[in-house]
Amino acid sequence: MENNILVTGAAGFIGANFVEYFVNKYPQYNIVVLDKLTYAGNINNLNKVKDRITFVKDDICDFEKVLNIFNKYKINGVIHFAAESHVDNSIKNPFIFTQTNVIGTHVLLEAAKQVWGEGSNNKFVHVSTDEVYGSLKKDGYFTEKSPIKPSSPYSASKASSDLIALAYKETYKMNINVTNCSNNYGPYQHNEKLIPHMIKLALEDKKLPVYGTGENVRDWLYVEDHCQAIDLVYHNGKSGERYNIGGHNEKRNIDIIKLILKRLNKPESLIEFVEDRKGHDYRYAIDPTKIKEELGWYPKTKFEDGILKTIDWYLDNRKWLNWFDI
Residues annotated catalytic, as ranges: 130-131, 154
CB atoms under 10 Å from CB of 25, counted, come to 11
Q: What angle do CA 211, 215, 217 make, to 5 degrees?
A: 105
CB 190 within 8 A of CB 324: yes
CB 21 within 8 A of CB 53: no
- For residue 149, what is the enclosing H or E element? none
Separation between Cα atoms, residue 67 and residue 278, nearest integer Å: 38
Separation between Cα atoms, residue 71 and residue 65, nearest integer Å: 10
Separation between Cα atoms, residue 249 and residue 285, nearest integer Å: 8
* Closest to 279 measured CA to CA, from 151, 115, 119: 151
List strand residue ranges (DSSP E) for 114-195, in order: 123-129, 175-181, 183-185
Separation between Cα atoms, residue 6 and residue 32, nearest integer Å: 5
Q: What angle do CA 244, 193, 272 make, to 5 degrees?
A: 125
Phi, psi of 205 (to 5 degrees): 55, 35
Cα 81 to its chain centre, rounded Å, is 6
Contacts of 257 (CB under 8 A, 6+ apart): 198, 208, 210, 214, 271
CB 232 within 8 A of CB 295: yes
Separation between Cα atoms, residue 147 and residue 117, nearest integer Å: 31
